[in-house]
Amino acid sequence: MSVAPLPHVIPTLSQGAAGLQLEQVALSDIAAQFGSPTYVYSRAALTAAWHNWVSALEGRNALVCYAVKANSNLAVLNVFARLGAGFDIVSGGELARVLAAGGRADRVVFSGVGKSRAEMAQALRAGIHCFNLESAPELDRLEAVAAELGLQAAIAFRVNPAVDPKTHPYISTGLRDNKFGVAFEDALALYRKAAASKHLRISGIACHIGSQLLDPAPMAEAAAKVRGLVEQLEREGIHLDHIDLGGGLGIRYSDEVPPTGRDYLAPLLAAMAGRPEQLCFEPGRSLVGNAGLLLTRVEFLKPGATKNFAIVDAAMNDLARPALYDAYHEMLAVQPRDTPPVSYEIVGPICESGDFLGHERALSLAEGDLIAILSAGAYGMTMSSNYNTRGRCAEVMVDGDQLHLIRPRESIDSLFATERVLP
């Protein structure tokens, strides 16, 4: 098969004799076997993205914890577990997924602002690496739960450095008006309180300022502030095992030019030069975003007076990012046509005007054609829903010339199987 590389965002996507292919499998063959819409992931792209991080940390005492919220399919988690990843979780459900996928509890960091007592107990019994605490009441709750279980909880405080990450406001997490983290000026008192408890063990400090970061400068500024606080704690006799600098590295969706892992990490590593603590990072989007796509089929082409609509079988319940963030995802016809392209609004069948996947896309299409919606490996399936009683997509992993169904399509019956009518 003749294969031509494509100059866009998914490194393992190419143009072959049968149209677009991921690794060595034609997307049209995937649709024929599993239908549409379907999420499709590349194991080779996941692995390459992982090595982009770990190669940049070679020679450093570092732990890379994949942020499970980006894509929590068991097969995706298993790929990273086999590569030696740690995991950053934000719920008890995510912890259960990590363990089911072969991840190690002692490489799990538990973040999030609203951990329940049950989730804390679950994580303590599992023996996780560390809790990232984000408020004084959370500290009190964890201490009480650990005391009830007769265990000691390893903790870090997620400090809020009040640094502008220069990203979308919905994915900014380090400013004073965000719900995340503890105020920088409150951190010292909280560490002193934790140090006095026999049920808590101070393990580290954490900082994460946002997602889809394309400039390392804001995070480097935050790292310098964190280092100053680490040194202040040291003068108080509070010594840390690790420093967690979060994730946040952005990806290319259209014309962005994100830094490589090495270029992103270089100023952060420089800010921590000479520190003996293990460095911890929590990438999500940069590991999975450009390892996946959403395959969808054109149901109707509907010309209009001012806009032309391509109505596809994927919708905002399958990929929420465009409706939620006005996010851009590049789109390609799976089997290109020779006809002139037409500007289309790419919309789904959901009964909402906000159900769009892309605006003004120049594509040559006919009814029944397949479209590949790119950069959909992160915050695609994990944010999907059953709105309009629509079954969620199938998920497929490509591994060379092999296909693995890693989640079957939801049947309609399954959506209300646990519901009951009134007697």
Long-range Cβ pairs for the range 268-274 (8 Å, 24+): 268/216, 268/219, 268/220, 268/223, 269/57, 269/60, 270/220, 271/220, 271/223, 271/224, 271/227, 272/223, 272/227, 272/243, 272/245
β partners of residue 317: none
Q: Is 170 annotated as a binding residue?
A: no
Question: Kind and range of the H or E element at 129?
Answer: none
DSSP labels for 197-235? -TTEEEEEEE---BSSB--SHHHHHHHHHHHHHHHHHHH
8 Å CB contact between 66 and 88: yes
What is the 8-class DSSP label of residue 147?
H
- Give the integer Cα–Cα distance in Å for 277 and 260: 24
Q: At what angle do helices 217-235 and 187-195 cross, to 10 degrees?
A: 40
Catalytic residue among 65, 207, 280, 351: 351
- Give the integer Cα–Cα distance in Å for 280 and 160: 17
8 Å CB contact between 395 and 38: yes
207 is catalytic: no
Q: Is 345 annotated as a binding residue?
A: no
Closest CA relative to residue 227, chosen from 190, 265, 268 = 268
Q: Is 285 annotated as a binding residue?
A: yes
- Give the integer Cα–Cα distance in Å for 372 and 330: 8
Q: Is 352 annotated as a binding residue?
A: yes
Q: Is 321 annotated as a binding residue?
A: yes
Closest CA relative to residue 308, chosen from 351, 350, 363, 352 = 363
In terms of phi and psi (left: phi > 0; alpha: psi -120 to 50; beta: otherwise), the region of 166 is left
Q: Which residues are annotated as a binding site for pyridoxal 5'-phosphate?
A: 248, 282-285, 379
Q: Which residues are annotated as a binding site for substrate?
A: 285, 321, 325, 352, 379
- List active site positions: 351
Q: Which residues are annotated as a binding site?
A: 248, 282-285, 321, 325, 352, 379
